[in-house]
Amino acid sequence: MQVSAKVPVIVFTGGGTGGHVYPGIAVLQAFRIALGEQPYRFVWIGSQKGIERKVIEGLGIEYRPISTGKLRRYIDWENLTDLVRIVKGYFQSRHLLKELQPVLVFSKGGYVSVPPVQAAKSLRIPVFSHESDLDPGLATRLNLKASRLVFCAYPESRKHFGPEFQDRVVVTGNPVRQELFEGDPGWIRKTWTVPPQAKILLVLGGSLGARQVNELVAATLPRLEGRVFVVHQTGDHWVALPDSPWYVSRPFFATEMPHLYAGADVIFGRAGAGTLWEAAASGVPLVLLPLGSGSRGDQVRNAQLFEDRGAAFVLGPDTGPDYLSKAVERLLTDSQARESAQRALAGFDARGAAQTIAAEVLSRLGAAHV
């Protein structure tokens, strides 16, 4: 791709899950709006096979893949091979950044972001980062010293950063793509033959799927049939149940998500930051089953914060179909519980985060660099 060297470049990085990709896209969109008519070239550095490549290239954004390896907090033989991949990714990132000469690198986190951020630091390219969870993940911690500012979602997040970094922490909320505010509430009923009297439950296990969520939904369907129409994102690694008059499933939804949020009455899923804030933006009450075992516990803490504010019902790790069906039914039939949850969700104010981040970055960077 031949592009004039005079056109300034802004690099984005991050990935591994949709929770890292979609908020980054929201910030990229906000940069485009803030920069107006100024010509800018946006480039995303990500993994070779991660979800971010499909999503970013699908939006027509220039994508540059690098070698990546996961960052594990436990002993595993794959740590050795992944370390080699990370080092390779670092040198690939240095090469790319020397070629692109960006005015800044914006990191949305995830293990993918570490090599580009460290390469940017070595080349003295300004770095800005965003952390979606209540407490910072390993990638954010590793990128912290390289970042001029770290944007975070909650005021409570500040306590998880050391005193020497407090002047770099800016609370903005989590970025949400503009199109999520523009969904068609009637799309679900027009796309599938939903019984007129039915309420709609949207099930989201995350972009990679969630076995526990999928199994629990499958066991709960008989209790909901006849009253609740279920739209289920299963992920790729699940043998889908057949569609029925009360149930449809797909491995993955992308462009349909604004319409699904707009048309849903209740959402059930994990407690990834993306799901939480997209639901908050849509005002749809939540039932959550956070990922606990095998993770660093960030979803448990995210879910607890939403529950403490009255924005969600949180199910325990050993919950069964009776508990899920009762939680869903309560949010559908108890108007007081539903309205209370909607008021709490509105308190998260998801609409302005991306614009605030873009404005703050451009202000800190200064007119001489943009």
Mean pLDDT for the stretch of residues 48-71: 89
Helices (H) and strands (E) in the chain, counts: 13, 13
- Residues 61-85: tens digit of each pLDDT: 999 999 987 765 555 556 667 788 9
- Residues 101-159: tens digit of each pLDDT: 999 999 998 899 999 999 999 999 999 999 999 999 889 999 999 999 999 999 999 99
Q: What is the pTM of this model?
A: 0.87
Beta pairing class for 286-288 and 104-107: unpaired
Question: Where are the CATH 3.40.50.2000 domain residues in the chain?
Answer: 9-176+351-365, 179-346
Q: What percent of the chain has pLDDT over 70?
A: 93
CATH fold of 9-176+351-365: Rossmann fold (3.40.50)
Mean pLDDT for the stretch of residues 320-344: 96
pLDDT computed for residue 195 by the predictor: 94
The CATH number of 179-346 is 3.40.50.2000
- Residues 261-283: tens digit of each pLDDT: 999 999 999 998 888 999 999 99
Q: Which residues of 335-360 are buried (b: 16+ CB within 10 A; e: fewer)?
A: eebbeebbebbeebebeebbbbbbee
